Amino acid sequence: MLNNLILVLNCGSSSLKFSILNPDSEKKYLFGLVERLFLPDTSVTWQYLEKKYQVCIGSNMSHENALDFVLNHIFLQAEKIFKRIIGIGHRVVHGGHKINKSTLINENIINIINDSVCFAPLHNPSNLIGIKIAMNKYPHLIKKNVAVFDTSFYNNIPKTSFLYAIPYRFYKKYHIRRYGAHGISHHYVSCKTALLLNKKFSSLNIITCHLGNGCSISAICNGTCVDTSMGLTPLEGLVMGTRSGDIDPSVIFFMHRKLNLSIDEIEVILTKKSGLLGLSEVSSDFRYFEKNYTLKKSAKISVDIFCHRLAKYISAYMSLMENRLDALVFTGGIGENVPLIRQLTLSKLSLIGFKLDFKKNLSLKSGKSGLISSKNSHMVFVIPTNEELAIAKETISIIHKT
């Protein structure tokens, strides 16, 4: 078992994460990230045998270009460990209404993921590129490709959370409902929280905030997710890097009717040009906002809106906790690395029992888990997510079952 490795591909909308790891020992042998796809200076960073590498692979590189570099250059470097790979795990954002759990990939599953593109237009197409290229490149593993879905974690959210207040037939006939996303990460940090608190998962009452390029928040009560901020697609909810999150749908009618923007143009605005990027008109990278919070008005207001929305969701989700909150959890690139966000958000929540320990918040090292609340507060943890490990564990368990 200890010899068995899993290759994990996480083909995101503008990035590609890859790793080769052992799901049992949790040892990562090789891992890396391609960033800035479709932008100038697409770059790849990776680590193999404790050594770090970084190269620019060109400008405006696509997922296909990035996979070509990763599979044909980086993985060649790792030929020795490659022989030990017994399966390939793929992150897939949306399974639509037809798939609700991790599954071996075959033609039918590919078709279902394809049919669900309308629910995750930024993500499912790139997820499919990763799947097809991996299946082609490694024919000996063709029956060992597993899709792990971000939507699976939300299988049991109640109708009160997942139904939109629109004519019921749109749900019955067209499956328009809230599906949630980022479930792999919310589930992973929930399991870690249960371990930290020494509690059974089934009795866990927590709120988890995944704050990365995409941002979402989930309410978990008695070990079941009872609400989450992402909706039909990963566009609803919190303010994100380039996505608007919640807006009045009439904004779309206004843009279309008064500004003559097409539906496609509006989709691009709301998914790729809004959020922190839209508000600041400079960047979606949180490092920029951290640096400029006290220096630039537009950076400050963008961050303040981000935290205002987050605090509103946390307060709302407190009402779903059935009289007890075990912990609030921050994770994702921003949640793990930006003390300012945690401080600004929690400062709005003292009335409902949150108090930050400023020293702990500031001194928590990147990549480490820790408690950042003071004694007379609900517990607040920072817990690094590890979607790749979660996907590898799911992949091996599905492979062993078949």
Residue tagged active-site, from 41, 115, 150, 326: 150
Q: Is 148 in the site for ligand ADP (CB under 6 A)?
A: no
Taking CB under 6 A as the rule, which mask of x and - marks residues 1-40 in contact with ligand ADP? -----------x--x-------------------------
What is the β-pairing status of strands 28-35 and 42-48? antiparallel
Give the nearest distance from C-beta 242 to ligand ADP in angstroms. Answer: 10
Cα separation values, 83 from 7, 18, 98, Å: 11, 17, 34
Q: Is 332 in the site for ligand ADP (CB under 6 A)?
A: yes
> Which is nearer to ligand ADP, 342 or 378 (by Cβ)?
342
Which residues in the 345-374 window bind ligand ADP by CB under 6 A? 366
Asked about 150 being catalytic, the answer comes back as yes
Answer whether 210's CB lies under 8 Å from 182's CB: yes
Which residues in the 266-295 window bind ligand ADP by CB under 6 A? 285-287, 290
Q: Which of 124, 127, 337, 345 binds ligand ADP (CB under 6 A)?
A: 337
Q: Which two tokens stand for residue 40?
A: 């100038």
214 annotated ligand-binding residue = yes
Cα separation values, 350 from 318, 346, 357, Å: 13, 7, 12
Q: Which of 95, 212, 245, 339 binds ligand ADP (CB under 6 A)?
A: 212
342 annotated ligand-binding residue = no
**CA dist., res. 134 & res. 9, Å (int):** 9
Q: Which of 241, 245, 278, 339 binds ligand ADP (CB under 6 A)?
A: 241
Answer whether 233's CB lies under 8 Å from 240's CB: no
> Which is nearer to ligand ADP, 102 or 213 (by Cβ)?
213
Q: At what angle do helices 297-318 and 339-346 cross, to 10 degrees?
A: 60
> Which is nearer to ligand ADP, 144 or 182 (by Cβ)?
182
Q: Which of 334, 356, 379, 382 binds ligand ADP (CB under 6 A)?
A: 334
User: Which residues, other chains included, contact 168 with Cβ-Cβ below 8 Å and sequence gap of 6+?
Assistant: none
Sheet-wide strand order for 42-48: 51-58, 42-48, 28-35, 16-21, 5-11, 85-92, 145-149, 103-104
Give the nearest distance from C-beta 182 to ligand ADP in angstroms. Answer: 8
Q: Is 183 in the site for ligand ADP (CB under 6 A)?
A: no
Q: Is 102 in the site for ligand ADP (CB under 6 A)?
A: no
Buried b (16+ CB within 10 A) or exposed e, 335-365: bbbbbbbbebbbebbeeeebbbbeebbeebe
Answer whether 298's CB lies under 8 Å from 279's CB: yes
Q: Is 343 in the site for ligand ADP (CB under 6 A)?
A: no
334 annotated ligand-binding residue = yes
Which residues are tagged catalytic? 150
